[in-house]
């Protein structure tokens, strides 16, 4: 075990708190220690000496764990305290509401205050007893039978007339007619569409929704555009590999990765890869993987990254005759993985499938920005 491994091992055994938070801390420290070791080696230090120096400079894992555990305990206590305050507030407000209701002054629902949600340079006041959330490129608002989304689109060089309106549109009952119906507008140079979802709510609920929409504010600036790393296949004899990185725009982003037993001849996003398929021998394989994130939609997962021979099919639209295809969609925390494995026949031999699986198992997945 290297000094770096010892630090990580000792830390992992002594950290307390949520599993996810602990894992993130360990991953972060593992990567940073690697960086520090590389830095010392680049300055001419021997590998063993660099490892030892970096581990010594890191300090005693027990001290780091004590600091971390203390923070976790304090955070847990703060959460409990806030929860208690909230419970007392709710109980008090509930009692107050009942009193007001009994005296005919107010309704029970009026006791829950409206609140402002913020994120990605957007803000919106959520009405009393409604719920709202801002995530990457998307605002969700729901209450009183109304469901609305505001989706952001990345502006293009050519002005799209759909976004011509310079203010948030007011909704009418007729706007709740179809899930496809949406109204575009531009604020602070950023493009948005409001989507009112059916069924049709009451006029009173639409009025409340419009007051929330009027509170929608937008700041200009760069809120998206983070580079996205693609998945990668390692170099291996007998495989031709490639990948294309992407950018995380308001709508989401995608990267593509491929590995084929013949030179790859198609554009990264060309599916099926007709030109490569045309040159594929009978025992050949093409693996194509997309990592994608859509701000508003998530792909429904199906199948898995383990290729099942009986699920290889030839019915996909646009697939050349006789070609076998195994597809899967798998969810990760920050993206969806789309897998396409092409075989020259619908019934590939077991060793051909095993070869494809071995290549697929070597796929290295990146981490994308969360949110």
Looking at beta carbons only, is 63 or 278 nearer to other proteins?
Answer: 63
Minimum CB–partner distance for residue 39 and other proteins (Å): 8
* Size of interface with other proteins, in residues (CB under 8 A): 36
Looking at beta carbons only, is 14 or 215 nearer to other proteins?
Answer: 14
Query: Does 243 interact with other proteins (rule: CB under 8 A)?
Result: no
**CB crowding 151-178: b at 16 or more within 10 Å, else e:** bbbeeeeeeeeebeeeebbebeeebbee
Phi, psi values for residue 244, rounded to 5°: -130, 130
Residue in the block written with tokens 């992992």: 12
Residue list 64-83, contact with other proteins (CB under 8 A) = 64, 67-68, 70-71, 75
In terms of C-beta density within 10 A (0-12 exposed, 13-18 middle, 19 or more buried), how is residue 37 classed? buried
Looking at beta carbons only, is 213 or 289 nearer to other proteins?
Answer: 289
Minimum CB–partner distance for residue 57 and other proteins (Å): 5
Minimum CB–partner distance for residue 17 and other proteins (Å): 10
Query: Does 250 interact with other proteins (rule: CB under 8 A)?
Result: no
Nearest Cα neighbor of 342 from 360, 362, 327, 357 is 327
Nearest Cα neighbor of 161 from 187, 184, 193 is 184
* Residue 269-298 contact track with other proteins, rule CB under 8 A, x = bound: ------------------------------
Contacts 24+ apart (CB under 8 A), 161-167: 162/193, 163/191, 163/192, 163/193
* Residue 4-43 contact track with other proteins, rule CB under 8 A, x = bound: ---x-------------x--xx-xxx-xxxxxx--x----
Looking at beta carbons only, is 169 or 371 nearer to other proteins?
Answer: 371
Looking at beta carbons only, is 20 or 166 nearer to other proteins?
Answer: 20
Residue in the block written with tokens 């077991």: 350
Minimum CB–partner distance for residue 190 and other proteins (Å): 18
Query: Does 221 interact with other proteins (rule: CB under 8 A)?
Result: no
Query: Does 50 interact with other proteins (rule: CB under 8 A)?
Result: no
How many degrees, rounded to 5, is the angle at CA 139 between CA 134 and CA 141? 105
Query: Does 60 interact with other proteins (rule: CB under 8 A)?
Result: yes
Transcribe 86-113 into DSSP letters: HHHHHHHHHHHHHHHHHTTS--GGGGSP
d(Cα 302, Cα 176) in Å, to the nearest integer? 32
* Contact footprint for other proteins (CB under 8 A): 7, 21, 24-25, 27-29, 31-36, 39, 57-61, 63-64, 67-68, 70-71, 75, 226-227, 229, 232, 366-371
């Amino acid at each position: 075990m290297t000094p770096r491994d010892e630090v990580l091992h000792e830390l992992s055994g002594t950290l307390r708190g949520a599993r996810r938070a602990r894992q993130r801390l360990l991953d972060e420290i593992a990567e940073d220690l690697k960086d520090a070791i590389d830095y010392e080696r680049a300055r001419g230090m021997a590998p063993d000496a660099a490892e030892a120096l970096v581990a010594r400079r890191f300090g005693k894992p027990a001290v780091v764990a004590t600091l971390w555990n203390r923070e976790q305990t304090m955070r847990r206590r703060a959460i409990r305290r806030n929860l208690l305050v909230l419970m007392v507030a709710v109980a008090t407000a509930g009692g107050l509401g009942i009193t007001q209701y009994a005296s005919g002054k107010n309704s029970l629902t009026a006791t829950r205050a409206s609140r402002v949600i913020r994120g990605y340079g957007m803000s919106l006041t959520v009405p009393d007893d409604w719920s709202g959330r801002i995530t990457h490129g998307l605002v969700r608002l729901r209450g009183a039978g109304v469901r609305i989304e505001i989706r952001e689109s990345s502006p293009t060089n050519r002005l799209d007339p759909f976004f011509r309106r310079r203010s948030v549109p007011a909704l009418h009952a007729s706007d709740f007619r179809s899930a496809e119906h949406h109204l575009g507008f531009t604020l602070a140079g950023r493009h948005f569409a409001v989507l009112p979802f059916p069924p049709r709510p009451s006029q009173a609920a639409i009025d409340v929704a419009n007051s929330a929409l009027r509170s929608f504010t937008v700041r200009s600036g760069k809120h998206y555009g983070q580079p996205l790393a693609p998945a990668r296949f390692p170099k291996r004899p007998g495989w031709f590999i490639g990948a294309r990185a992407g950018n995380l725009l308001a709508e989401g982003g995608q990267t593509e990765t491929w590995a084929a037993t013949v030179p790859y001849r198609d554009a990264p996003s060309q599916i099926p890869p007709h030109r490569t398929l045309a040159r594929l021998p009978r025992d050949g394989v093409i693996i194509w993987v997309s990592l994608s994130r859509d701000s508003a939609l998530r792909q429904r997962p199906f199948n898995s990254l383990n290729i099942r021979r009986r699920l290889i099919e030839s019915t996909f639209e646009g697939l050349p005759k006789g070609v076998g295809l195994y597809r899967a969609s798998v969810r990760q925390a920050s993206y969806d993985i789309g897998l396409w494995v092409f075989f020259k026949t619908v019934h590939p031999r077991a060793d051909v499938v095993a070869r494809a699986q071995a290549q697929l198992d070597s796929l290295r997945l990146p981490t994308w920005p969360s949110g």
